[in-house]
């Protein structure tokens, strides 16, 4: 309803795709959950992230949310009831100045999971709040946030609201579990993965899967998509976490070699760029190319012999045989799974598994 409204609902609507990513990243779908498992959204808006987390949990969990806008908090309550979460606690108020979820000792209540899409760059975050004398001690150990930038304030509130092994996702993911073992921050630039839908950019299922899979595996094999950035490197950048400082996602320009065009020969750097293939089949490179003048190579075989030389080379044949064996094993296992599917199964869930 918020998404289709003609008004600007950005203050409380989180796209469903973003909610799905946050839900999968905190791993609640794999966790052992009960009714005592708690999930909190300090800026819940209409409740989209909370509902997604509740849907992904294996068992019913307890949902908590706070929203500053009175009308929006009412919409969130209605949303909870309509989606079969009538026991969810949605409270209205300023999360930073007047957090509504506290314990008997007056300190912030802590939760197993936190999801949030807070109003970053909030220039009025400190309204009604004395940050230097915060009774909830959110800014005691990590410094007071800048006066006109609320990003850091919301992050510190979320961290303070997590249990000792809790997990939170608020676009910037906060994972306190085994935090002492990490030596940096894992960054992902997924800005190129989307589908145009009119004036909007939408994440496809494959985009969501890639983001979650790369994050969970901390896969930095493609440095143009994701990498673990050391604290030392971040310090050298004045602790600025702007992703383009650390991940160059621009596609490399195809630079033409003028000398190669004029004098002939294959630039050695172009062949070196295919090192991933030469690592698997090192002798194939020697079979296809021979040395020429400095910086250049020549073909060692006639152009029409390139394919036969490659396809008949023992290293390539061994590689293909290995791939075919892996595929045959996968096909046998997958065929049994597919034949065992019930008519009421969910295709996307089965494909993900």
Q: Which two tokens stand for residue 246?
A: 């650390």
Q: Residue 91: which residues within 8 A CB-CB, separation 6 or more? A: 65, 66, 67, 73, 100, 101
- 27-31, 85-89, 110-114, 223-227, range with the lowest pLDDT: 27-31
Q: Which range in 10-24, 187-201, 275-289 is most confidently predicted, on average pLDDT? A: 275-289
What is the predicted pLDDT for the residue at 2? Answer: 52
Angle CA 338–342–348, to nearest 5: 65
What is the predicted pLDDT for the residue at 7? Answer: 44
What is the predicted pLDDT for the residue at 279? Answer: 94
Give buried/exposed letters for 26-46 (b at 16+ CB in 10 A, else e). bbbeebebeeebbbbbbbbbb
Q: Which two tokens stand for residue 1?
A: 């309803």
Rounded Cα distance between 152 and 164, Å, is: 20
What is the 8-class DSSP label of residue 222? S
Report the percentage of the chain scoring pLDDT > 70.
93
Q: Which fold has domain 16-181?
A: Rossmann fold (3.40.50)
Q: Which two tokens stand for residue 326?
A: 């892996």
Parse the chain into domains and list their residue ranges: 16-181, 263-353
> How do the residues of the chain divide into helix, strand and coil, expressed in percent and rounded to 5?
40, 15, 45
Q: Choose between 234 and 143: higher pLDDT.
A: 234
Reported as type and span, the H/E element at residue 188 is strand 184-188
Q: Mean pLDDT in the chain? A: 88
Residue 227, burial from CB neighbour count under 10 angstroms (0-12, 13-18, 19+): buried
CA atoms within 13 A on the CB side of 315: 13
CB 86 within 8 A of CB 92: no
| Digit-coded pLDDT (tens) for 229-280 | 999 999 999 988 888 999 987 777 778 889 988 999 999 999 999 999 999 9
pLDDT reading at 12 higher than 90: no
Q: Give the alpha-carbon dihedral of 25, 28, 32, 38, to 10 degrees.
A: 130
User: Coil, helix or strand for 105?
Assistant: coil
**Mean pLDDT, residues 126-131:** 88
CB 203 within 8 A of CB 21: yes
pLDDT reading at 5 higher than 60: no
CB 85 within 8 A of CB 54: yes
Distances from the Cα of 122 to the Cαs of 40, 151, 153, 170, 250, in angstroms?
A: 20, 7, 9, 15, 30
Residue 98, burial from CB neighbour count under 10 angstroms (0-12, 13-18, 19+): middle
């Amino acid at each position: 309803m918020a998404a289709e409204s003609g008004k600007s609902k950005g203050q409380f609507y989180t796209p469903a795709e973003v909610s799905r990513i946050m839900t999968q990243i905190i791993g609640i779908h794999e966790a052992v959950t009960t009714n005592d498992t708690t999930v909190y959204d300090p800026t819940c808006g209409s409740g989209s992230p909370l509902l997604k987390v509740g849907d992904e949990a294996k068992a019913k969990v307890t949902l908590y949310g706070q929203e500053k806008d009175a009308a929006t908090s009412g919409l969130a309550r209605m949303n909870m009831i309509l989606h079969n979460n009538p026991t969810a606690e949605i409270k209205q108020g300023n999360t930073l100045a007047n957090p509504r979820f506290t314990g008997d000792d007056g300190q912030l209540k802590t939760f197993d999971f936190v999801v949030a899409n807070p109003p970053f760059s909030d220039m009025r975050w400190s309204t009604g709040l004395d940050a230097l004398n915060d009774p909830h001690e959110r800014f005691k150990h990590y410094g007071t946030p800048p006066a006109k930038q609320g990003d850091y304030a919301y992050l510190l509130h979320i961290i303070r609201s997590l249990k000792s092994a809790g997990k939170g996702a608020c676009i910037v993911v906060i994972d306190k579990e085994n935090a002492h073992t990490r030596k940096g921050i894992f960054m992902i630039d997924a800005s190129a993965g989307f589908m145009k839908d009119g004036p909007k950019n939408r994440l496809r299922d494959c985009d969501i899967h890639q983001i979650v899979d790369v994050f969970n595996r901390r896969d930095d094999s493609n440095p143009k998509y994701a990498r673990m950035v050391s604290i030392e490197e971040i310090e050298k950048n004045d602790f600025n976490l702007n992703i383009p400082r650390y991940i160059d996602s621009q596609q490399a320009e195809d630079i033409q070699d003028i000398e190669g065009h004029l004098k002939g020969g294959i630039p050695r750097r172009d062949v070196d760029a295919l090192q991933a293939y030469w690592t698997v089949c090192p002798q194939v490179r020697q079979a296809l190319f021979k040395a020429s003048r400095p910086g250049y190579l020549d073909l060692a075989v006639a152009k029409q012999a390139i394919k036969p030389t490659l396809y008949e080379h023992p290293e390539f044949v061994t590689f293909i045989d290995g791939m075919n064996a892996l595929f045959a094993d996968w096909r046998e296992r997958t065929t049994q799974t597919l034949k065992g599917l019930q008519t009421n199964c969910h295709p996307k869930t089965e494909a993900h598994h």
